[in-house]
Chain A
């Protein structure tokens, strides 16, 4: 189908984009990689008055270091995140999860910032961003503000972004040397996660010193599995200790029900996948 008519704006800087968004009013929509928005437009499930295309905003692309922080521009594509040496070194969990997103075509067009702003709870990049304690930098008419990932995801497809705000940067504290694994369960390779688990750990001499665990599609937002995290700290990674920690994975979750899985099955999956992810990350 052909989308309903809309005005199209293609700014070349963040400031221009913010102005364009403010000028276009609340029925405007920001276009990032378009991998979710364009199908919606083509199906006429939305009819925004104006599209603000960030595709030419060069300052929103790329990865850089800022002291102990890794800064990823919101318009950096999944493909670029996958190939980036800094991401691999300082945020291995994000690379691992990005590797599982959809298929190569989508990874060349889709962006990290677009996926985060879209906030589909079955999307694979929300849990890593949450687990890595990222901060999300948002630009609006009154300037920039920084929102911790824990406060950013509010509900299904709902974030802390106001209609006149853009996500511009993802700031991730460096997790240098941390090992990581993203364990995803679905029926078709390029499909959305039925359930997935993001785990990253810092080990010393086989003992887990620190652990970050977050779950995909176990609620209307990504969920931090703090019970698992605390059970892992100070533990020698072994089959028994991993199983004990993973048994906490479903605590406090409110998973969705759909044709693929019900609540109990998803809770079961969360535990099993958490065990596998910890084992892969901690090398047990």
Chain B
């Protein structure tokens, strides 16, 4: 089954991309999700989901199939399983950012395959709950981008409004491309599970420059930079899978009462 969601963040596409690939900034925006392991393009994560009577600890893993910074498009494939054996699901998630009027438009296409009992549920609840999660995510991201943007006007490239918002992969101008963060040649895989879970309540002044090369980060952040890239999607995929599972379980809950 195919699910489509959209969100809009009122910030330039370069900033959004940069933010999206900076797990430290966006991690707190994804509720309940934690990366437990990252090895190259493969990753594992857990998602704790609470919805009404249902409370699940969902474990997912997956790999990252494509990252196209020019097209601002990332594709990952992930599968997951409830830790208590309630169901399994697999998903391919594609996130595409395009420039929109005064901001950035994100589309998330999820191709979902579900086996077992959850297969009986409809797409309505999944789509609805997935949409709510993305709304939360986008709202949180907007909140994080706004102060950073104000604090780093120098790094801001000349905003060039691109009217073609229909283009699936609007090619950003070269100046709109953010300065890439230096990637360490060697990428030791971080294994700590806590890296993304603690609240990041730093004021904007602490993190002034979105586009400039960051100051030497704390030890935690070094690990994060190692896999800066698709962490958000890596987190998003388990979330979507968990959402799908929960929606299925809701259907089961109802089915059991019939």
Contact = CB atoms under 8 A, between A and B. Distances in A.
B195 interface: no
B258 A188 contact: yes
Nearest to A40: B53
Interface residues of A, number: 34
A27 interface: yes
A40 B127 contact: no
Interface string A60-84: 0000000000000000000000000
Central interface residue in A40, A44, A190, by most chain B CB within 10 Å = A40
B144 interface: no
Size bracket of the B interface: 20 to 34
B125 A46 contact: no
Nearest to A159: B52
A260 B249 contact: no
A275 to B, nearest CB: 25
B116 to A, nearest CB: 12
Nearest to A260: B122
A236 B67 CA distance: 65
B56 A158 contact: no
A259 interface: yes
B55 A47 contact: yes
Contacts of A190: 258
B124 A256 contact: yes
A156 B125 contact: yes
A39 B85 CA distance: 15
A216 B56 CA distance: 27
Contacts of A162: none
A258 B254 contact: no
Contacts of A238: none
B252 interface: yes
A118 interface: yes
A119 interface: yes
A39 B127 contact: no
Contacts of A157: 51-54, 250
A220 interface: yes
Interface string B169-206: 00000000000000000000000000000000000000
B54 to A, nearest CB: 5
Given A35-B257, A45-B249, A258-B124, 14 more contacts: A4-B84, A43-B256, A44-B85, A45-B253, A46-B55, A46-B56, A106-B257, A156-B51, A156-B52, A157-B54, A192-B254, A257-B124, A257-B127, A259-B122
